[in-house]
Structure 1
Amino acid sequence: MTMATQPRAAGLRGWLMDPSPASTWQARAQRGYLGWVGFRSNPIAMAGFVIVAALLLAAAFAPWITATDGLTPNLGARLLPPSAEHWLGTDQLGRDIFDRIVWGSRITLYIVILVSIIVAPIGLAVGTIAGYAGGWVDAVLMRIVDIFLAFPRLILALAFVAALGAGIENAVLAIALTTWSPYARIARAEVLTIRKSDFIVAAEAQGASTFRIIRRHVVPLCLASVIVRLTLDMAGIILTAAGLGFLGLGAQPPLPEWGAMISTGRQFLLDQWWVPTAPGAAIFLVSLGFCLLGDGLRDVLDPKSASA
């Protein structure tokens, strides 16, 4: 009895593992399930997934897992060391550092999500248009990309924030303006490898417009590489945001932004080490989580790079 004639297994897993999918939706679900199985078998990737999931849960349930809002001073509890009552101690104004880190996770996710929403579409659009059009369009767009790539990200972000003014929204815009260019390079490289493929030529022969070819055929093939790069870049986005906050150009006090917390607590590093160390450890842990998650997604979404 061949595999095609064997009875189909019952249940959701059987539907996902069916060797003969009955619809496009089922085929896509099967591909996603197999990707998850491969991702789950990678312990390093799962460690990153757990860290990022913990960040998301902390941000979502902050009102229920904290005792304070992280903003109100309590001068009677200044600079208390870590204890059962204050897990990570208190800062110079008596605010619970654990509570501030949990509330600060919302600011971190806010920055990461907004930057991602801005840079991925811009980079993908510029890269796909440049790679597919070629000629002078490619030359002009890539020279613009080269200008942004020529400057260190933090230095360029500082210049933009200095021009726009301090604040979390301006910091997001500055980070986005300094981050989009690598995505254009990646998208262009992907397009150059597929623009002469048979299915692209066939779509052109059928009279499909350039916009339709890019939207329906080119962009979906570039998404995997862009998503992987975006996940890996989230650590850099967090560090850049923390750097701006440390310099007083990002989120402004009393908001519990992790970089700003390090800046205000650095004077207590020798005697009350927990004040700057706790937010620094949070930045390190979350950045590490995104890096590990990005490595796992790369193995799943781009098998060629995993086997290389």
Structure 2
Amino acid sequence: MSDTTLPAPRNALRAAQLKELRGFAKRFARNPLGMVGLFIVLLLLFCAAFAPWIATHDPYLPTLTARLSAPSAEYWFGADELGRDIYSRLVYGSRLTLLIVGLVIVSSAPIGLLIGVVSGTVGGWVDAVFMRITDVFLAVPKLLLALAFVAALGPGIVNAALAITLTAWPPYARLARAEALIVRNSDYVAAIRLAGGSEFRIIVFHVIPMCLSSVIVRMTFDMAGIILTAAGLGFIGLGAQPPLPEWGAMISTGRKFIFDQWWVATIPGAAIFIVSLGFNLLGDALRDLLDPHLRQRN
């Protein structure tokens, strides 16, 4: 009899989770700007996943006879100074953009989350040491700090992502610490301590889950900043190296032709703007849905 009754709570929990997910999707669909941001992000993912099939030319193969060709039926967004198709380079460049964003997010967010949660939950000298280190990183502008690190490490995609990671984790630590300070004084955490729960168990199973929604929203907003920082490093030659189709490097090589052949630099710049806007719109929508105060207001 126990075998037939045990799955019932699991099924009820699964049904409740599916209902909550459907409700979240319906609320998200009522946000038109959020849908625009989601469409842009999905389009970026589509271009990165299917680049070999949707690109019209080899992004690395120069065609000197088509050098600086204007947008046309053959070259949709024109050709660059070596006759390479700008549209195809943008499509393949989306892979580099997502690679840098992914490397930074999967490294900086967990680091900042762990430091902030431990600092806010444990307190005392641990909190003081962690927050002073965080203040040191926050005191220096992100791009300047990234320039210093990538100049020391050397140019390249991995080094650029590592340099951005070293500048991106402090906001997550501050945010997680603020959330942890609230959660650690809650009644249910006090009850867990009275029941003999360790600090490790409280941090892993109770404090971190309460911080995840804020961290996810922060991650979405930070993606636009990561793209801009990576493009800035590529623009000055410290990011992805030629002939890789990185958008910032494409703007750098096209700036010499900005007045006569405007498409060489303008179209990669427009791609950076649109993708950054998409992540910001998506972040705004997620913040409105995941913030409990805004949900109560709505």
TM-score normalized by structure 1?
0.91
Letter in 2 for 1:161: V
Residue 93, structure 1, aligned to residue 82, structure 2: yes
Q: Secondary structure at the match of 2:274?
A: helix
- Cα displacement (A) at 1:21: 9.1
Alignment correspondent of 1:51:
40
Distance in 1 of aligned mates of 2:205 and 2:19: 21
Please tell me the residue identity of whatever aligns with 2:31: N
Are 1:32 and 2:21 an aligned pair? yes
Please give the alpha-carbon distance, in whole angstroms, between the structure 2 residues aligned to 1:228 and 1:163.
32
What's 2:149 paired with? 160
Could you tell me which of 280, 287, 295 is aligned with 1:298? 287
Residue 5 (structure 2) aligns with: none
Cα deviations by residue, 1:5-58 (Å, 9 ceiling, x for unpaired) = xxxxxxxxxxxxxxx995323222222221111111000100000000000001
Which of 214, 221, 232 is matched with 1:243 structurally? Answer: 232
SS at match of 1:23: helix
Task: Report the equivalent of 2:257.
Answer: 268
* Cα-to-partner distance string for 1:270-293 (whole Å, 9 max, x where unaligned): 000000001000000000000000
**Superposed CA offset, 1:182-237 (max 9, x none):** 00000000011111111111111121211111111110110000000110011000
Contact 1:35/1:301 (8 A) holds in 2 = no
Asked whether 1:137 is paired with 2:112, we answer no
Match of 1:209 in 2: 198
What are the equivalent positions in structure 2 for 1:1-308 lying under 5 Å apart? Answer: 22-305=11-294, 307=297
**Which runs of 5 or more residues in structure 1 are unaligned?**
1-19
TM-score, normalising length from structure 2? 0.94
- Using the TM superposition, give the Cα deviation of residue 304 of structure 1 relative to its aligned residue in structure 2, in angstroms: 1.3
Contact 2:58 2:85 in 1 (8 A): no
Q: Which runs of 5+ in 2 are unaligned?
A: 1-8
Q: Distance in 2 between matches of 1:64 and 1:35?
A: 34
